[in-house]
Amino acid sequence: MTNFSKLATILPPEQKAIRAKCFHPTGAFVEFTKDETEQSIPERFEKIVRLHPQRLALKLGDEALSYEALNRAANQIAHAILAKGGKQDEPVALLLGKGVILTAAIFGVLKTGRIYVLLNPSFPSTRVDFILKNSGAGIIVTDSDRLSLATGFARRRLHLINVTEMDSRLPSSNPALSISPDTLTWITYTSGSTGEPKGVVQNHRNLLHLIMTQTNDLHICSQDRLAMLMSAAGDMLLALLNGAAIFPPNTKENRSDDLGNWLIQEKITIYSSVPSVFRNFVNTLGDHQTFPNVRLIRLTGEAVYRTDVETYRKHFPESCILVNRLSSTEVPTFRQYFIDHSITITDHIVPVGYAVEGNDVFLLRDDGEEASSNEVGEIAVKSRHLSPGYWRNPELTQAKFSPVPAEEEKRIFKTGDLGRMSPDGCLVYLGRKDFQVKIRGHRVELAEIERALLDLGHFREVVVVSLNDHAGEQRLVAYLVPVRQTVVRADALRASLSEKLPDHMIPSSFVVLDSIPVTSTGKVDRNALPAPSRTRPELHTSFVAPRTFFEKELAQVWAEILTLDVVGIHDNFFDLGGHSLAATRVVSRVIKTFQVDVPLQALFAAPTVAEMAAMVTEHQAKKMGDQALSRVLAELESLSEDEAVNLLAAKKTI
């Protein structure tokens, strides 16, 4: 049998040649050595602070911090945490907005030798309550904007630290604590098959190993400027442990099509996101818009398609390298595939590529034996840098992580992903083996959604599946068998589910059935489930057809993006199954169609066709006087449908 783990360490000449070009033009790269993984993250960070005290570390809008200022802020938070006392292994919860303070708080917790757990303010309170109780956090670090929310969560006598009103007399010096590389750093809660989230933990050594491999493979240097489009602490560390700068986008102010201008304005050199966000972004670009400073695009979390590579070539310079990666919460990046303008992609799905140092990857058949070349199997990783396991769940840790008797420091983790390995060790990702899926970059257990629906008490049977939509993205569809004959309204279901599940776990479509189809052995026959209808879902809102030209145009845009036959002018976009990523597509279409300057948050402020039509009218009024606007509107209203469509088409070509 072919030994893939040995083959995988040998890169083909094409991959070597592309990697050799993956440098910042200044040549400022400094190798990250293995010795530097045998320390704590604060030690490495404080070394960078000493080397580059006045270099820009982080910028969000008009707010910017140097390395020295960021370190001082982190130190004050660390001293505030230490002053509260508590056990060394007691986690600290962070309830903060993205950006400057969150970054300082993360380093502040790590400097105390404690574990942090992020609380997402947008998550349902029941989910946040579960995370607080399960993690055993003793402190919540928050700010004035979220203080009332944090106070509600802290009713179990948790200590609160409000960083906005923190005592300015707190020391700003490094705590200088001795922290072992084996010390845990964070708990990340992911969707769980039991219906409850599970906490995955990580330690300093493993994270520094990740930073080492990514630094050396991508040649990250102090001159790089990273766009933080994902809430990925690993990406933050990749920048700040190398003297680079991070730039979280101010999404509340940016338009959907303004990300490109922001990348150019901030001279971003490294773009990182999930593929669906990248796909949505490039679809807003003009034919000739390019990004001369971007040298690296990093995609992970979902499948990358050949069409993504084609748009990358169209908008990014020949010096820019695209890297497709494969990772999981339990195993940081363990495969990567480098792409330049000359490489040929023959299949629809882009490979996730070749080995990352320290991670042996192999495929397992259903019988437990290693799969042969080009045979589909479950992706397994053997490494000494796997997650230590699941927080306070030794049984699950033992079940998921297998020891390697001959190599005591290594373990094996079966990812649940399917793949196919070519003879030269190139891996192609083929999706999940079980009922766990990736939705907009988030790992989702379908069983958790099914349990939440059953808990509502309205349904006898529930099956949730993930399907590809017309844009090639994964979307969730729930098949429901009600307990009694009743009208199932999508908006009411979403409102109930939003009290338990985050937005990305709420299905976009609900299909009511008399019974769930089963196979001859009694199992759910997922292949026999009907495709979701394009019919407008049942809502509490009555259907009202579009009345004006603007409303007709907007309703058509919504219907196309939501894959519906019709949309009423008073239907809420999110009640129809829309989500934030789809919302950016709508706003982008509105900007291009009507030539108006509307903000990214427009659809959240005006979530119906009627409201958005009024917003379009208002924004057009800013471009012309009231009399001119009245005249144009009168002319539009008097036009026939064919005349109006022809007029709009003519305007689009100007």
pLDDT single digits (tens) 188-217:
998 766 667 899 999 999 999 999 999 999
Report the pLDDT value the prediction gives residue 210, as an integer from 0 to 100.
Answer: 96
CA distance linking residue 109 with residue 438, whole number of Å:
30
CA distance 503 to 412: 33
Q: Concatenated DSSP letters for 221-242?
A: -TT-EEEE-S--HHHHHHHHTT
pLDDT interval class at 533 (50, 70, 90): confident
Averaged over 526-546, what is the pLDDT? 86
Residue 472 above 70 pLDDT? no
Q: Span 620-634, mean pLDDT?
A: 53
Q: pLDDT confidence of 44, banded at 50, 70, 90? A: very high
| C-alpha–C-alpha distance, residues 193 and 535, integer Å | 31
Asked if the model's pLDDT at residue 13 lies above 60, the reply is yes
- Where are the strands (E) in 101-158, listed by range? 116-118, 139-142
* Mean pLDDT, residues 582-600: 76
SS3 377: strand
Contact between 326 and 427 (Cβ < 8 Å) = yes
Q: What confidence score (pLDDT) does residue 323 get?
A: 98
Token pair 């917790």 is at which residue?
109
Report whether pLDDT(636) > 50. Answer: no
Please report the pLDDT score of residue 67 as a whole number: 98
The percentage of residues in the chain with a pLDDT greater than 90, rounded to a whole number, is 46
CA 414 to chain centre: 22
- The secondary structure of the chain in percent helix, strand, coil, rounded to multiples of 5, reads 35, 20, 45
For residue 257, the model assigns a pLDDT of 55
Residue 52 confidence (pLDDT): 96
| Pair 265, 249: CB distance under 8 Å | no
Q: How far is CA 191 from the centre of its chain?
A: 14
pLDDT of residue 637: 46
Delineate the domains of the chain, giving CATH numbers in brackets.
436-528 (3.30.300.30), 549-652 (1.10.1200.10)
In this prediction, residues 490-511 reach a mean pLDDT of 89
* Residue 109 in this model has a pLDDT that exceeds 90: yes
Q: How many residues does the chain have?
A: 654
- pLDDT digit string (tens) for 48-103? 999 999 999 999 888 899 999 999 999 999 999 999 987 888 999 999 987 789 99
**Long-range CB contact pairs, 25-34, < 8 A, 24+:** 25/295, 25/319, 26/221, 26/223, 28/221, 28/222, 28/223, 29/219, 29/220, 29/221, 30/221, 30/222, 30/242, 31/215, 31/216, 32/211, 32/212, 32/215, 32/216, 32/242, 33/212, 34/212
pLDDT digits (tens, 9 = 90+) for 398-448: 999 999 988 878 999 999 888 889 988 999 988 777 666 778 777 787 878
Reported as a single tens digit per residue, the pLDDT across 115-150 is 999 998 888 888 999 999 999 999 999 999 999 999
Residues 490-518, mean pLDDT to the nearest whole number: 88
Q: What is the mean pLDDT of the segment spanning 465-471?
A: 76
pLDDT of residue 253 exceeding 50 = no
Q: Is the pLDDT of residue 536 over 70?
A: yes
Q: Quick check: 450 pLDDT over 90?
A: no
The rounded distance, in Å, linking the Cα atoms of 83 and 68 is 23
Q: What pLDDT digit, counting tens, does each position of 330-382 carry?
A: 998 999 999 999 999 988 889 999 999 999 999 998 888 899 888 889 999 99
Average pLDDT, the chain: 85
- pLDDT given at position 172: 95
In DSSP notation, 48-80 reads HHHH-TTSEEEEETTEEEEHHHHHHHHHHHHHH
Share of the chain above pLDDT 70, in %: 89
* Tokens of residue 148, six digits: 């009332």
Is the pLDDT score of 4 beyond 60? no
